[in-house]
Each structure stands twice: as structure tokens, then as C-alpha cells.
């Protein structure tokens, strides 16, 4: 099915013909996207890109539990793509866990350089080599980062496909939604098993970082109870 590139990322998931990969982190938005896709009847291949970031071991534990809770004949096992970034990020806060953006910093402070460049490179190639026609991800309308614009996604999808003579589509079904809109799509999903922290304490959300603050606001704005256990409740 031919689709105008300007609107391809806004397609409903139930319009997808064939299996669907989902770039999933275990956070609220991508977890809800998995649930949405399963409800639409899609065969879902969850993909996680491991970069070696400070929080990933805890994030992956939560993600495995969340996917286990959603077990379904249409949900394929989690596939982990390895793409370490220590050689380019060096002493960046995302690797060291030091000077992590806190609840009072603007979202721009949590920018990871080239994050979507890194995430999509292997993901698109995995889909091409495994004959999965599309990959969906969950950036929102409020995403402030330069690698989250429609222009970036359309150009990057085109250039990677050109490199392998492929046709994998990058879908962003939440691109016009805000976080509270996405939260209201959760239904009965076990959101307490999701993980959104960039400075975990033990196996818990720290309660003080930029992402924990965003998580708290998401539940408040959606008028939903927050099932998260935070190491710091204040």
C-alpha cells in the first residue's frame, strides 16, 4: 500500500498489513504502544537497543516483566540489539549516573546526542533482514529534540532504505498526541511494571530525576493513580 510520506507516521496501527516491530524501552509510551498494537491484532516483534546506559539493566528487568504480563500468541520474544556508545559518549551523565538532569531541569537537558539515529539504524536493518515491513516507535507531539521531527524521521527512513534497497516504514502513531492522551489509551495494561527513570536507586525509580518527574506528571494529568514505587517520594 502506497502512502504519502507526510502522513505515513500517523496511520492507525490496525491499518498495518503484516507483522510490526516496536522499538520499546519499557517506559510508559512504548509500553502502551505494544498494548495498542496487540489490541489491533498485529503480530508484534518488540525490539530493545542496548547502548550500555546507566539505567538499562533495571529498565530491562521491568521490560521483561511487562512483556511477560502481556503474553500473547501475537507477541514475539524480546529481541535485544547491541549498540554500545561508551566510545562516543565518554563521560556523559547517561553512562556515569553523575549530574543526571533532575526534576527542576528542562526536558532539553535530558537530550542524548543522536539517540534516534542510533536507535533506528540497527532497527530498520533488522526489520529489512527479517522481512518485517514496519517499525513503530512512540515519540510524542511535545518531544523537543532535533532528532524527533517529522523531517528527520522521513529523511532517515529514506536514506537507510536506500542503502539496502529496502522499504521498511518508520511509524509514529502517537506523533500528534500528548502524554496524557497516550496514558488514556492504556486501558488495563500493568503500568506499574513500566520503568521511566534515568538514575535508579537499587531496582527502584529514584523519584527525583527529570524522567521520574515526567512520569509523576503523566499519571496526574491523566487523572490516574500512580502505582510506581519511588525511592524518594517527595
Report if residue 130 sits inside a domain.
yes
* Number of domains forming the structure of the chain: 1
Closest CA to 43 of 134, 112, 143: 134
Closest CA to 82 of 136, 129, 121, 26: 121
> How distant is the alpha carbon of residue 36 from its chain centre?
13
pTM: 0.90
User: Whole domain around residue 73: which residue ranges?
Assistant: 5-101+113-188
Report if residue 106 sits inside a domain.
no
Report if residue 45 sits inside a domain.
yes
CATH of the domain at 29: 3.40.50.620
Report if residue 195 sits inside a domain.
no
Report if residue 22 sits inside a domain.
yes
174-210 pLDDT, tens digit each: 999 999 999 999 999 999 999 999 999 999 999 999 9
Report if residue 220 sits inside a domain.
no
Which SS3 state, helix, strand or coil, does residue 179 take?
Answer: helix
pLDDT in tens, the chain (234 residues): 333 433 445 445 665 678 999 999 989 999 999 999 999 999 999 999 999 999 999 999 999 999 999 999 999 999 999 999 999 999 999 999 999 999 888 878 888 889 999 999 999 999 999 999 999 999 998 777 888 889 999 999 999 999 999 999 999 999 999 999 999 999 999 999 999 999 999 999 999 999 999 999 999 999 999 999 999 876
pLDDT at site 3: 39
Closest CA to 81 of 139, 163, 25, 159: 25
pLDDT at site 110: 84
pLDDT at site 18: 80
pLDDT at site 10: 44
Report if residue 126 sits inside a domain.
yes
pLDDT at site 234: 60
pLDDT at site 184: 93
Report the length, in residues, of the chain: 234
CB 23 within 8 A of CB 137: yes
Report if residue 196 sits inside a domain.
no
Amino acid at each position: 500500500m502506497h502512502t504519502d510520506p507526510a502522513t505515513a507516521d500517523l496511520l492507525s496501527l490496525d491499518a498495518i498489513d503484516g507483522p510490526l516491530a516496536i522499538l520499546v524501552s519499557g517506559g510508559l509510551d512504548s509500553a502502551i504502544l505494544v498494548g495498542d498494537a496487540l489490541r489491533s491484532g498485529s503480530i508484534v516483534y518488540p525490539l530493545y537497543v542496548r547502548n550500555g546506559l546507566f539505567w538499562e539493566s533495571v529498565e530491562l528487568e521491568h521490560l521483561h516483566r511487562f512483556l511477560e504480563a502481556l503474553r500473547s500468541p501475537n507477541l514475539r520474544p524480546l529481541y535485544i540489539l547491541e549498540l554500545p556508545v561508551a566510545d562516543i559518549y565518554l563521560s556523559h551523565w547517561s553512562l556515569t549516573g553523575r549530574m543526571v538532569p533532575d526534576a527542576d531541569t528542562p526536558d532539553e537537558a535530558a537530550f542524548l546526542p543522536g539517540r534516534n539515529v542510533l536507535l533506528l539504524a540497527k532497527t530498520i536493518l533488522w526489520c529489512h533482514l527479517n522481512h518485517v515491513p514496519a517499525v513503530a516507535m512512540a515519540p510524542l507531539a511535545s518531544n523537543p529534540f532535533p532528532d524527533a521531527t517529522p523531517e528527520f524521521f522521513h529523511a532517515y527512513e529514506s536514506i537507510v532504505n536506500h542503502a539496502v534497497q529496502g522499504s521498511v516504514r518508520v511509524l509514529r502513531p502517537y506523533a500528534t498526541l500528548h502524554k496524557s492522551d497516550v496514558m488514556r489509551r492504556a486501558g488495563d495494561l500493568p503500568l506499574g511494571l513500566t520503568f521511566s527513570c534515568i538514575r535508579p536507586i537499587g531496582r527502584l525509580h529514584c523519584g527525583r530525576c527529570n524522567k521520574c518527574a515526567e512520569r509523576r506528571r503523566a499519571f496526574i494529568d491523566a487523572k490516574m493513580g500512580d502505582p510506581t514505587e519511588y525511592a524518594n517520594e517527595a
